[in-house]
Amino acid sequence: MNSCAVLVLDEAGRITGANTSARRLWQSAGQELVGERYASLFAFEVVSTDPDFLENAWLALASDLDRDFVLASHPRPGVPSELQVRLERQSGGPGGYIATLQPARPAPASSTEISSDQPAWAILTEKAAAGFFDLNLKIGRVEFSPAWKRLLGYAPSELPDVIETWRQLIHPEDSAAAPDKVARKLASTGIAASRPFSVEFRMWHRSGHWIWIHCIGVQTLAADGELERVVGFHLDISERKEIEDTLIANDARLQALTQDGPLAAFEIDFAGGPCWYSPAFARLLGHGGESLPATSEALLDALPEDAGEDLESWLQTRAPGESVFTEPVRLRACDGSTIPALLGIHRILTRRRELLRVMGFVVVLPPALSDLSGVVSPQLTAVAMDILSEAIVVADARGVILLANAAAARLLRLAPAAIRGHAVPDVLRLLNRQTQRPSENPVARALAADTTLPLCSDDCLAPIDGEPFPVVWSARAARNADGLPVGVVIVLRNPEEMTLTPEELVRANRFETLGLLAGGIAHDFNNLLTTILGAVSLGRDNRDYSALGDAEQACLAAKALTKQLLAFAKGSSSGTRTVCAPKDILNDSAKIASAASSAEITITVAETTATVLVERGQMLQVFQNLMVNALQAMPPEPHQPQVQISARNALIEAHQVQGLEAGEYVEFEVRDNGNGIPPEYVEKIFDPFFTTKKHGTGLGLATVLSIVRKHGGQITLDTQIGVGAVFTIYLPQANEAANPEARRAASLRFGTGRILFMDDDPRICSLTATMLESLDYHCDLAKDGAAAIALYKRYLNIGRPYDAVIMDLTVIGGMGGEQCYHELKQLDPDVRAIIASGYDNEDMARGYLEQGFCGYLTKPYRVADLGKLLKTVLG
């Protein structure tokens, strides 16, 4: 039996129900389609990464109702490429839509191929999902197409083409609605005519049940009004009728509860649509039989005074992070009295977490539960504590345990009753991981601190029954109004049960690695500053300028190192991937990772090695992590540490590397001659929070694995005690040339014109003014944005605006360059502004250029850099 796919949608275009044909069409099980956006099922010619794209697409779809049209489906295995779609609005109730879908080009019902020269009518009547019929009542000839018979479960040869077949198959109660009976005899007009029809009725199916038919076609009438001929199509709409019946039943139940029943329900539409309140809601507030206005103010007036004047903000602040919540409230009736009630809310949010719509109910609380003074019952407290994943231990100021939740009982391997009443050190026995000696009492540490203790990962928990295992814990003292301690709350967790998302792993590890590298980076910067300072002192004291070239190169090296540090700290959160050469990635990673290290680091990359498509910042983090781990694994002197890094092309066969598909990859190898990794640690080495370092967090290799897998690659480990470890990374080849980095040749450019330069550092102002004068520009200086605006106004008023304005991005205690630019833009739309910044970041530069700035000047800069930029801006 051929059936259409039917979806039930809410007002926002989300799927709330799907029939069997819909689940079969999208090959989904159970309720997988429920909650998806209707617009996400289709592919559009124009797409966008804007979070509101699907909402706008839904608004476009919902504006075209009650019409059949064809849409391209979103690519999914087994789903037809094009779908015939019809969207209709539901009647009654809270509203919504019904979408009917079927393949726009249905596949042949049998294995018989359709010949290219076969008549279109033959294809339609034999292969289509709709059944064709022709009832010629005048001459007594009847024709049913093969598809019409298959619709009812019969083979073409099983049903005779006679009018009795038609009448026997129609449900007796629906025979009057059949097109051969509708308008059987009309008033005579003296002119033969035809009229279209569209009716629904039931017909008998061979499998022994009635199916609903949607019949559309044309009736031909004789001059005397007699019906002569009926021609049309049949469509099986059984599942649609089932859904309609279900909706009607649901609507009837809702009406029974909200019209004369006790359920006070409502719906608030913050997108500008009408609001709805049930009659029971109006009666609850004392409005009797009056209906409430279809606005949100009716609900706001009934809520407690702490809701304020902004209903949307109040609803957003309740139970953050949850879409559904319940809360006891005191509603305000129209006569001023208060009503203790339970308020239930279901929120529907946009992708930007903005409130789109809320549905809710109100139930009056019985007298036994109407005390809403804020006292929380012990039962509610117990439930709240037990649903937490962290172990919670609450002790009084003497250190005696008052309360322990279920997680604490599981962690301590004791019943909650066996924990309460005991001193904290008796049951919460903490041992130092390194010395295995008892740690300081957490209650004493919390009472001595003014704030929450920092997260401690140096201890093990020794349960009464079992071996010690690592824990992380924190504690905080609770104090009364006089500042005296009344108790301590201790929170514990097993690190093996703690999880982070891949993004959190990357972010946390990035800053940990920066901390590890800080000393080495400072060492390299001091070396560069020594070269610069030495050259300056030679020139000033001895008039020997031979070392100025070395000083210039040291400045450029420091600028490049700063850029790498900023890129590493920022990461690649935009998700933008670029084609990179493996050798460039390894060289840049080694510059920071090897800072102040005496290890011998060699990088070998074959000339024929392919490029890779990666997020450059994250891939630098991968290899810097591996290099830092290798350097830290080296035994003490006189051992000579060596790290060998290589990259080459690799052809991987199926099942050759676990978790990696067959294909062409670039194989990176990081090899050290350290102590190696003990066998018992190999299985845990990539787990989050697993570490053998005294001050480590255990995020380094977990981050590496997360990033590599995100890029479609894999990492393997080969280690031997006393020999070292080899980490091998496989990344898919890009088969594209690496993105070239722009390298601007420094050359002096001279020009004429008047430049306004703004910076809060007097030394930079003086130096830049000298540079500009050496390039034959006239220059005025301003210490902040306000001074720059005053100067610009002065010369603009006499018809001599500045040719260009160079502004520092950040001014401490004053107006910065960005705000100043927008003020100048109001004065002079043709202002040519250049932003100067110490942040050497391409994304940031692109953002300011898109705002309207004519150039981006990165500090530090040379005379040639300044001249070339001004020549480009001024033309």
| Tens digit of each residue's pLDDT (9 = 90 or more) over 243-299 | 888 888 888 887 777 777 778 889 998 888 888 888 888 888 888 767 788 888 888
The band of 553, judged by pLDDT with boundaries at 50, 70 and 90, is confident
Residue 743, pLDDT above cutoff 50: no
Of 602 and 540, the one with more pLDDT: 602
The model's pLDDT over 580-595, given as tens digits with 9 standing for 90+, comes to 999 988 988 787 666 5
Q: What is the pLDDT of residue 418?
A: 80
Q: Tell me which architecture the domain covering 259-366 has in CATH.
A: 2-Layer Sandwich (3.30)
Nearest to 7 by CA among 34, 30, 46, 42: 34
> Quick check: 38 and 13 in contact, CB under 8 A?
yes
Measured CA to CA, the distance from residue 785 to residue 790 in angstroms comes to 9
Mean pLDDT value across the chain: 80
Q: Exposed, middle or buried: residue 1 (CB in 10 Å: 0-12, 13-18, 19+)?
A: middle
Measured CA to CA, the distance from residue 216 to residue 171 in angstroms comes to 17
b/e map of 689-715 (b: 16 or more CB within 10 Å)? bbbeeeebbbbbbbbbbbbbeebebbb
Residue 381, pLDDT above cutoff 70: no
Position 571: which residue type?
A: G
Q: What is the pLDDT of residue 726?
A: 93
The band of 634, judged by pLDDT with boundaries at 50, 70 and 90, is confident
Question: Taking every pair of C-alpha atoms in the chain, what is the biggest distance, in angstroms?
Answer: 123
The band of 511, judged by pLDDT with boundaries at 50, 70 and 90, is low
Measured CA to CA, the distance from residue 366 to residue 694 in angstroms comes to 58
Give the mean pLDDT of 710-715: 90
Residue 675, pLDDT above cutoff 50: yes
CATH number belonging to the domain at 5-103, selected among 3.40.50.410, 3.90.226.10, 3.30.450.20, 3.20.20.70: 3.30.450.20
The band of 742, judged by pLDDT with boundaries at 50, 70 and 90, is very low
Give the mean pLDDT of 570-589: 75
Helix (H, G, I), strand (E, B) or coil at 487: strand
Q: What is the pLDDT of residue 247?
A: 86
The model's pLDDT over 594-611, given as tens digits with 9 standing for 90+, comes to 654 667 889 999 889 999
Give the mean pLDDT of 848-875: 87
b/e map of 30-46 (b: 16 or more CB within 10 Å)? eeebeebbbbebbeeee
CATH number belonging to the domain at 124-241, selected among 3.30.390.30, 3.40.190.10, 3.20.20.140, 3.30.450.20: 3.30.450.20
Task: Rounding to the nearest 10 degrees, give the CA dihedral for residues 318, 319, 321, 325.
Answer: -100
The band of 707, judged by pLDDT with boundaries at 50, 70 and 90, is confident
Q: What is the pLDDT of residue 430?
A: 92
Full-model pTM: 0.35
The model's pLDDT over 122-145, given as tens digits with 9 standing for 90+, comes to 666 666 678 999 999 888 889 998
Residues in the chain: 875
CATH number belonging to the domain at 386-497, selected among 3.40.50.2020, 3.30.300.210, 3.30.450.20, 3.40.50.800: 3.30.450.20
Residue 450, pLDDT above cutoff 70: yes
The band of 624, judged by pLDDT with boundaries at 50, 70 and 90, is confident
The band of 436, judged by pLDDT with boundaries at 50, 70 and 90, is confident
Nearest to 123 by CA among 96, 95, 146: 146
Measured CA to CA, the distance from residue 375 to residue 714 in angstroms comes to 55
The model's pLDDT over 158-203, given as tens digits with 9 standing for 90+, comes to 888 888 989 899 998 888 888 887 544 555 556 778 889 999 999 9
Give the mean pLDDT of 559-572: 59
- List C-alpha distances in Å: 347 to 95, 276, 368, 861: 17, 15, 29, 53
Which fold is adopted by the domain 754-874? Rossmann fold (3.40.50)
Q: What is the pLDDT of residue 758?
A: 93
> Quick check: 818 and 784 in contact, CB under 8 A?
no
Residue 15 host element (H or E): strand 15-18
Residue 18, pLDDT above cutoff 60: yes
**Token reading at 438:** 């008892």
Q: What is the pLDDT of residue 791?
A: 92
Q: What is the pLDDT of residue 560?
A: 64
> Quick check: 722 and 841 in contact, CB under 8 A?
no
Expressed in angstroms, the distance from the first to the final Cα of the chain is 74
Task: Rounding to the nearest 10 degrees, give the CA dihedral for residues 8, 12, 13, 17.
Answer: -30
Give the mean pLDDT of 743-759: 66
Residue 746, pLDDT above cutoff 80: no
Q: What is the DSSP string of 706-763?
A: HHHHHTT-EEEEEEETTTEEEEEEEEEB--SPPPPPP-PPP-------EEEEE-S-HH
Backbone conformation region of residue 109, classed left if phi is above 0, alpha if psi is from -120 to 50, else beta:
alpha
Instruction: Give the relative orientation of helices 700-710 and 616-632 as an angle to the nearest 10 degrees.
Output: 150
Superfamily of domain 503-732: Histidine kinase-like ATPase, C-terminal domain (3.30.565.10)
What are the residue ranges spanned by the domains of the chain? 5-103, 124-241, 259-366, 386-497, 503-732, 754-874
Give the mean pLDDT of 824-835: 92
> Quick check: 840 and 562 in contact, CB under 8 A?
yes
Measured CA to CA, the distance from residue 550 to residue 534 in angstroms comes to 10
Same-fold call for 5-103 versus 754-874: no
Residue 792, pLDDT above cutoff 80: yes
Give the mean pLDDT of 636-651: 86
**What percent of the chain stands above pLDDT 70?**
81
**Token reading at 10:** 């809410």
> Quick check: 676 and 722 in contact, CB under 8 A?
yes
Q: Which residues contact 763 (CB under 8 A, 6 or more apart)?
A: none
